[in-house]
Structure 1
Amino acid sequence: MFGQLEHELELHVPASEAWDLFGTLAIGKVVEEEMPERFQKVELIEGDGGVGTILKLTFTPGLPGPTGLKEKFTKIDNEKHIKEVEVVEGGCLDLGFTLFRVRMEVIEKGKDSSIIKTTLEYEVKEEEAANVALASIQQLAEIVEVGKNYLNRNKDAKEVK
């Protein structure tokens, strides 16, 4: 069973600034610092932020479900501002999913405005179809919101100088 969920959020920064956060390892650092209720640790296991990079995400103890996951950067297009990441170990893969892919695309809207479109694609084994309810865009939407707030704070700090 295949599914897809999408979320879009307008950012009040140029696409290049948004990409500097969402298209790199920087978003992992921001998530670890600003979402301790969800993420205990985000570790770089392999790579430098390019295709093939592997991150290990450890969830905060006490949360329901898996304790963590490893994700691999499978596509990075710096021209089109598209990054794709797939879960390669743990997370939803432990619950019968055979694919759990996140695509982040930063779309230029104007000189000082952009949109981040987040897409979640998943496949789940037929015998585990009941677990489809676990596929949610909510956590990704929260990560994007945290990123937006981070960008806004840094933009305000730059304007003050």
Structure 2
Amino acid sequence: MGVATGEFEVACAVPPAKMFQAAVLDADELFPKIMSQGIKSAELIEGDGGAGSIRKINLVEGNFCMKHKVDALDKESFVYNYTIFEGDTLTGKFEKIVYETKYVSSPDGGSIFKATVSFHTLAGFDVPAEKLVNTAKEKATVMVKTVEAYLQAN
């Protein structure tokens, strides 16, 4: 077992408070609508949405799902940390995937999505950290840009 960790950022034109509201607090309702090609549904299955809560995300492709636990949620500083601990995303590769995320203000009035991701791999599964982090960044960029476009249009 090993741990591959990396950081990345994604800039957008929408202020942090608005991005955090849509991408984190309203995600269960919003993502299946605006990211329907990948997310079938999302639901809180345990807790009130804060730290310790469990969320289940059902993916379109292959009828897959994943569960993640909210590690931290700070509405004032726009921090959302969570751990993917169960689901098809992990099968045969990872024990868990941990995300530490935050939206911060950018000089142009928009925001920057900052993330640290740690892939806790199972024995026998070795992929370069750079490849794992780049894949995470690609997926996060799609999410940020999709939410940004939705908020700008509505």
Which bin holds the TM-score, normalised by the shorter protein? Answer: 0.7 to 0.9
How many Å apart are 1:131 and its aligned residue? 9.2
The corresponding residue for 2:152 is 152
CA deviations on 1:30-73 (whole Å, 9 max, x unpaired) are 2211122211221221222211221111111448xxx1111111
Instruction: Return the alpha-carbon distance in structure 1 between the equivalents of residues 19 and 37 of structure 2.
Output: 24
Q: Does 1:112 align with 2:109?
A: yes
Q: 1:93 to 1:68 in 2, by over 3 A?
A: same
Instruction: Return the alpha-carbon distance in structure 2 between the equivalents of residues 140 and 34 of structure 1.
Output: 14
Match of 1:97 among 88, 94, 98: 94
Runs of 5+ in structure 2 lacking a partner?
none
1:47-66 to structure 2, matched below 5 A, reads 47-62=47-62
Q: TM-score, normalised by structure 1?
A: 0.79
Whether the 8 Å CA contact 1:15–1:113 is kept in 2: the answer is yes
Q: Which runs of 4+ in 1 moved over 4 A?
A: 130-135
How many Å apart are 1:134 and its aligned residue? 6.1
Whether the 8 Å CA contact 1:19–1:81 is kept in 2: the answer is yes
Rg (Cα) greater in structure? 1
Whether the 8 Å CA contact 1:7–1:141 is kept in 2: the answer is no
1:23-62 to structure 2, matched below 5 A, reads 23-24=24-25, 26-62=26-62
Runs of 5+ in structure 1 lacking a partner?
155-161
The corresponding residue for 1:21 is 22
How many Å apart are 1:5 and its aligned residue? 3.5
Moved more, 28-37 or 6-15: 6-15
Instruction: Return the alpha-carbon distance in structure 1 between the equivalents of residues 9 and 89 of structure 2.
Output: 23
Q: Does 1:87 align with 2:84?
A: yes
- Root mean square deviation, CA, Å: 2.4
Moved more, 131-140 or 1-10: 131-140
The percent of aligned pairs where both chains have the same amino acid is 23
SS in 2 for 1:79: coil
Instruction: Return the alpha-carbon distance in structure 2 between the equivalents of residues 150 and 124 of structure 1.
Output: 35
